[in-house]
Amino acid sequence: MKLNLKIWRQKGPKSEGKIVDYTVDHVDEDMSFLEMLDVLNQDLIVKGEDPVAFDHDCREGICGMCSMVINGRPHGPWERTTTCQLHMRAFKDGETVFIEPFRANAFPVLKDLAVDRSSFDRIIQAGGYISVNTGNAVDANSIPIDKETADTAFDAATCIGCGACVAACKNASAMLFTSAKVAHLNMLPQGEPERAKRTVQMVAQMDKEGFGACTNTGACEAECPKGISITNIARMNREYFKATITGSK
């Protein structure tokens, strides 16, 4: 398989970027998208050129590092798939593929396809914890939790913090990410004492980072590789409203 690649190249956060054309040949359909980029980078290194910078870590779809926009869609054409789990059989021989970094003011480009997503870390640091004394490890299932609540909290906890929701949103909103992190702690008994404070602090930090507002277009849910539901956003809005009117901060 031969592909024509149009890749965003940018030397640094303050440098101007541009789309650069590359051709990569002998691509196997069973390669992952990142393996295809590895092949390209090997060719560039042999030629003495600067390889394309991109984030990756586990390459198993669980760390959220492999953030890039492929042909206009975060993580590419397959639903509920991270870039590292996208395979080249999703493309046709001779196809032109556009590859860009996630676009958001809160995700400044570090180099090429790598962006700084530390704003997500600061949102979690603002309230993504519980401050109770844990003591010794307790027996499993010692705190009764109904199945519906446990399932909802677990579904929210599957968020890997990749940022696809931000990249897909026309407003670059981080509401889906933030609401998922709020939900998986607020819904469990251990997170109950600080649920109001947690919600207010995490929303405040999200706004401080410069993310846009949510206008309920649903693009975030559609492009989320883990299928996080926008019902979490509605739940967080209710929690936030309740906390602010009652002064529970």
Per-residue pLDDT reduced to its tens digit, 192-232: 889 999 999 999 999 999 999 999 999 999 999 999 999 99
- The residue with tokens 């702690």 is 185
H or E element in which residue 147 lies: helix 147-157
Whole-number pLDDT of residue 192: 87
Give the pLDDT score at 108: 96
Q: Of 55-59, 61-65, 134-138, give the lowest mean pLDDT range.
A: 134-138
Q: Say what the pTM is.
A: 0.92
Q: Where are the domains of the chain?
A: 3-111, 117-134+143-246
Q: What is the pLDDT confidence band of residue 246, given thresholds at 50, 70 and 90?
A: confident
- Determine how β-strand 96-100 pairs with β-strand 69-70: antiparallel
- Tokens describing residue 128: 């993504």
Residue 249 pLDDT greater than 60, yes or no: no
Measuring CA to CA, which residue among 197, 206, 199 is closest to residue 239? 199
Do β-strands 96-100 and 3-9 pair in parallel, antiparallel, or remain unpaired? parallel
- Reported as a single tens digit per residue, the pLDDT across 90-141 is 999 999 999 999 999 999 999 999 999 999 999 999 998 777 666 676 666 6
**Confidence (pLDDT) at 175:** 98
Query: How many Å apart are CA 107 and CA 120, to the nearest integer?
Result: 9
Domain 3-111 has CATH 3.10.20.30: yes
Please state, in angstroms and rounded to a whole number, the distance separating the CA atoms of residues 208 and 167. Answer: 18
Measured distance CA(4)–CA(91) in Å, rounded: 11
| Contact (CB, 8 A) for 102 and 69 | yes
Which is nearest to 228 in space by CA: 172, 164, 147? Answer: 164
- Please tell me the predicted confidence (pLDDT) of residue 210: 97
Cα–Cα dist 149/142, whole Å: 16
Q: Which CATH superfamily is domain 117-134+143-246 in?
A: Alpha-helical ferredoxin (1.10.1060.10)
**SS3 label, residue 87:** strand
pLDDT of residue 128: 81
Give the per-residue pLDDT at 132. 67
The per-residue pLDDT for 73 is: 97
